[in-house]
Amino acid sequence: MNNIIKSVVFLVFGLACCLPAYAQQLEKKHFHHNEWTKGRFSEAVTVSGPGKWVFLAGVGAESEKDGSILHVGDFAAQCKYAYEKIGKVLAAHNGKMSDVVKLVTYVVDIKDRDAMNKCRAEAFKGVELPVHTFLVISQLARPGMLVEMDVTAVVPAAK
């Protein structure tokens, strides 16, 4: 009987030691609860495990040198440039586009929706699309801005 108790204690102790190591994996799952959303955006993303949350301030076509607006009047170029900047900021925090869990896109003209969808698809090519909200507003932070993105990412904890 004493050997059985020792075996049970050893097993419980062994599991207790191993479970924290198992829980150290960052797990991100994308969900589609409605058929029409597949390939357009994830309706929900869950994140569990250790990771670093990265919140990006609104990112648009502001020049990285002086903040002036680049590509005035060219929605596609502003959108592409903004995603390039997002990629650079994420990389500076050991992240990548696949780590984005939530994206809010603000535009000033609904006519740019199709161009935004194409630009976003190119930026996230080969990875799951994050949760996405698309808003049309009357004006962005600076004159000449046509698009701005608000990004939340979760980067797996460093090993």
Report the CATH number at residue 108: 3.30.1330.40
Number of domains in the chain: 1
103 found inside a domain: yes
Residue 69: inside a domain: yes
> Global pTM?
0.77
Whether 63 is in a domain gets the answer yes
Residue 19 within a domain: no
Q: Is the dihedral of CA 81, 87, 91, 93 positive or negative?
A: positive
Which element (helix H / strand E) includes 114?
Answer: helix 113-123
In a domain, 125, yes or no: yes
10-residue mean pLDDT series, the chain (159 residues) = 50 45 72 81 82 91 92 98 96 94 97 98 96 97 96 86
| pLDDT tens-digit map of 132-154 | 999 999 999 899 999 999 999 99
Specify if 72 maps to a domain. yes
Asked if residue 116 belongs to a domain, the reply is yes
- What confidence tens digit (pLDDT) does each residue in 110-133 have? 999 999 999 999 999 999 999 999
User: Looking at the domain assignment, is residue 11 inside a domain?
Assistant: no
With contact defined as beta carbons under 8 Å apart, do 75 and 140 qualify?
Answer: no
Joined tokens for residue 133: 């909200």
User: Are the beta carbons of 51 and 90 closer than 8 angstroms?
Assistant: no
Q: Are residues 148 and 140 in contact, defined by beta-carbon separation less than 8 angstroms?
A: yes
Structural domain for 136, as ranges: 25-156
